[in-house]
Amino acid sequence: MKKIIFLLAFSFLVSCTSKEEEIYTPISYNLKVPSLFADKLIAPIIPSNNLLTEEGVALGKKLFFDTLLSGDETQSCASCHNPENAFTDNQQFSDGVTGDFGNRNSMPLFNLAWNFDERFTWDGKNFSLELQAFEPVTNPVEMNANWDEVVQRLQNHKEYPILFQQAFGTLKIDSVLVSKALAQFERTLISGNSKFDKFLKGEATLTPEEQNGFDVFMDEARGDCFHCHGSNNNPLWTDNKFHNNGLDATFTDIGLGAVTGDPADNGKFKSPSLRNLIFTAPYMHDGRFTTLEEVITHYSEGLQQSATVDPLMKKVKQGGVNLTAKDKADLKAFLVTLSDFNFIEKSRFLE
Amino acid sequence: MKKYIAVFCVVLSLLISCTDEVENTTVTLNFTHNWDGVPVTNKDFNKFKFTNANGEEISINRLRYVISNVSLINTTNHFLIDLGENTGMSIPVSNIETGTFDLKFTFGFKDSENKDGIYQDLNSANFNVPGMLGGGYHFMQFDGKYIDTDNEEANFNYHAIRAVNRENPDELVFQDTSFEVNLGKVNINNNQIEIQMNIAEWFKNPNLWNLNELNTVLMPNFEAQKLMSANGKSVFSLRE
């Protein structure tokens, strides 16, 4: 009799548990889109097979800061994508868990849901944010882990299985779900509250230097930055496209060309956003410039001719458009207004 | 009562038959590109394989443009056609009547529709014109390289926008350089219509274009914009 009662109680418990698993519905995440983005841009890209949920974003955040994802459990995503640096680091190249260095500068992470072509990283090799999140875990010069081991660690963890169950409806963890959670979190990293954003909303004024710097940025005869780096009407401050911006006459890293196999793409790299530059030095895909002055001088008089240099790089033969010292200084002053201190401050408390 | 019912049935059947007479269909406008008759696709980009009317060898790196007010569509409309990325090249128009109609569109935007920042798709595509030039949108970005008189590669940015005279920056003078393309009568009956752009025409008719003189920084060049607009009027045609 006792045996029967036990079996009945057990089956009741089992049925309750599986029912809970079946009926748990994650809460839809309300992405806070800055008003300028909502006014000016098409909708952010949220894949239908990875909609944002409160539980998914929270799980992605926990994973982002967790060293369990690296081979020797010493590094997390945040090791190279530090919130205080707009989710990049301040090194030219980042050292992975083995102490080896990559050959690309760590990219900052924000406004990634507005990358409409969904080609991520400097050379566009990852088509989707989920794939971008998937790759560094096993990259030997980054986290150098084995997905099976990482999944096993998470599966054996006291909290993760239930967090995955709440986010994705299953206790069984796999690399796809880890990547999905990370991508969900990354899509919530939104920077849209710089001084210039406030200026556009009528909440701040620019100094004469900053205003002239913006004019240099928008003037086809001077900076002509707007063709690749957005404008007051494109608050991403990037076109998310790939260009050869005249850094080299010959290439040691062919960038997009290695991904497409097309020699016409050699030396092309993604235009990075110009938001948050004061937090993201050094600059360029290989972090060759340590200051904004060096960057501006490159475009002004340092352009190198090559077969694939973008036609938008004017006067290559003269090294560039040769800005005056004042225009250079003012351009820098304007660029600094794109820094979003509020984003850094909020990000600092994420971990 | 029977009489009323009979009348009602007759009226109803008439109405139904009237409705049936209007047949709706779909047509697709396909934009193709050529250089004086030789087909051009994005596979032909980044190669010095074209020679313009002035004798300059040319490589095309980017070609994208906006058309608006396509006559077959009743609502306000615009489309970004990007040959380099092979996007926007086919425009399906659905739920239109069969028959013969005029096919027209505007190259770029006429002034009344060329308002700064109002089109989210074009903002997202970074197709804006700076406020110092009056704002609004590019009509075309045509970028490439040519072999200059020193026999070296040089860049050109043949960017068409609304012409603006900035002699007095505080008092900009505009000229609407968008233009209507009238392709004449087309038969609409669940078919495909090919609209061709002869890219070479941008450099020759009626204005012979010398890239050694007009190559970059053409957006603020009032006279250059008028020349582009004049040359653009012969670039589109229907494939018969």
Chain B residues at the A interface, defined by Cβ less than 8 Å, are 45-46, 61-62, 116-117, 120-121, 123-126, 128, 130-132, 141, 143-145, 152-157, 159, 216-217, 219-220
* A259 falls within a domain: yes
For residues A173 and A227, membership in a common domain is answered with no
CA distances from B183 to A36, A57, B28, B88 (A): 39, 53, 15, 19
For residues A335 and A310, membership in a common domain is answered with yes
User: pLDDT-derived band of residue A24, with 50, 70 and 90 as boundaries?
Assistant: confident
* A6 falls within a domain: no
A45 contacts chain B (CB < 8 A): no
* A260 falls within a domain: yes
For residues A174 and A215, membership in a common domain is answered with no
For residues A307 and A269, membership in a common domain is answered with yes
CB pairs under 8 A between A and B: 79
Classified as helix, coil or strand, B99 is strand
If residue A211 lies in a helix (H) or strand (E), which one and from where to where?
helix A208-218
Q: Inform me whether the pLDDT recorded for A2 exceeds 80.
A: no
Query: Of B130, B219, B220, which has the smallest distance from its Cβ to A231's Cβ?
Result: B130
CATH of residue A337's domain is: 1.10.760.10
Most distant CA atoms of chain A, gap in Å: 96
Could you list the residue range(s) of the whole structural domain that residue A243 is in? 195-347
Residue from B106, B168, B171, B111 nearest B135 by CA = B111
Instruction: Single out the residue in A190, A206, A239 at which a domain terminates.
Output: A190
What is the C-alpha separation between A57 and A67, in angstroms, rounded?
18
- Which of the residues of A are catalytic? 142
Residues 6+ apart with CB under 8 A from A253: A103, A104, A285, A286
Query: Of A234, A307, A308, which has the smallest distance from its Cβ to B128's Cβ?
Result: A234
Residue from A103, A108, A78 nearest A92 by CA = A103
Residue from B27, B196, B194 nearest B100 by CA = B27
Instruction: Single out the residue in A190, A216, A238 at which a domain terminates.
Output: A190
Q: What is the mean pLDDT of chain A?
A: 94
pTM: 0.92
| Cα nearest neighbour of A312 on chain B | B157
For residues A292 and A213, membership in a common domain is answered with yes
For residues A269 and A152, membership in a common domain is answered with no
pLDDT value at residue B101: 93
Residue from B237, B87, B214, B115 nearest B159 by CA = B214
Residues 6+ apart with CB under 8 A from B218: B157, B158, B159, B224, B225, B228
User: pLDDT-derived band of residue A10, with 50, 70 and 90 as boundaries?
Assistant: very low
What is the C-alpha separation between A228 and A249, in angstroms, rounded?
21
Instruction: Single out the residue in A190, A205, A224 at which a domain terminates.
Output: A190
For residues A170 and A227, membership in a common domain is answered with no
CA torsion sign for B68, B71, B77, B79 is negative
Cβ contacts (< 8 Å) between A310 and chain B: which residues? 61, 143
* A3 falls within a domain: no
If residue A120 lies in a helix (H) or strand (E), which one and from where to where?
strand A119-120
**Chosen from B126, B142, B170 to mutate, greatest number of chain A CBs within 10 A:** B126
* A83 falls within a domain: yes
* A340 falls within a domain: yes
The ipTM (two decimal places) reads 0.92
Q: Inform me whether the pLDDT recorded for B22 exceeds 80.
A: no
**Number of structural domains, chain A?**
2
pLDDT tens for each residue of A221-280: 999 999 999 999 999 999 999 999 999 999 999 999 999 999 999 999 999 999 999 999
Cβ contacts (< 8 Å) between A317 and chain B: which residues? 152, 154
CA atoms in the 13 A half-sphere facing the CB of A60: 28
A261 contacts chain B (CB < 8 A): no
For residues A203 and A186, membership in a common domain is answered with no
For residues A124 and A229, membership in a common domain is answered with no
pLDDT tens for each residue of A129-148: 999 999 999 999 999 999 99
The contacts found for B56-60 with CB under 8 angstroms, 24 or more apart, are B56/B146, B56/B147, B56/B148, B56/B210, B56/B211, B56/B212, B57/B146, B57/B147, B58/B144, B58/B145, B58/B146, B58/B211, B59/B144, B59/B145, B59/B146, B60/B142, B60/B143, B60/B144, B60/B199
For residues A89 and A158, membership in a common domain is answered with yes
For residues A146 and A119, membership in a common domain is answered with yes
pLDDT value at residue A13: 43
For residues A250 and A303, membership in a common domain is answered with yes
Tokens read off for B126: 């970074």
Please tell me the total number of residues recorded for chain B in this structure: 240
User: pLDDT-derived band of residue B190, with 50, 70 and 90 as boundaries?
Assistant: confident
Residue B216 contacts residue B144 (beta carbons within 8 Å): no
Look up tokens 């350089």; give the residue. Answer: B177
| Cα nearest neighbour of A115 on chain B | B124
Query: Of B116, B123, B220, which has the smallest distance from its Cβ to A220's Cβ?
Result: B220
For chain A, how big is the Rg over CA atoms in Å? 23
Residue B165, beta-bridge partner list: B173
What is the C-alpha separation between B48 and B56, in angstroms, rounded?
10
Residue B73 contacts residue B212 (beta carbons within 8 Å): no
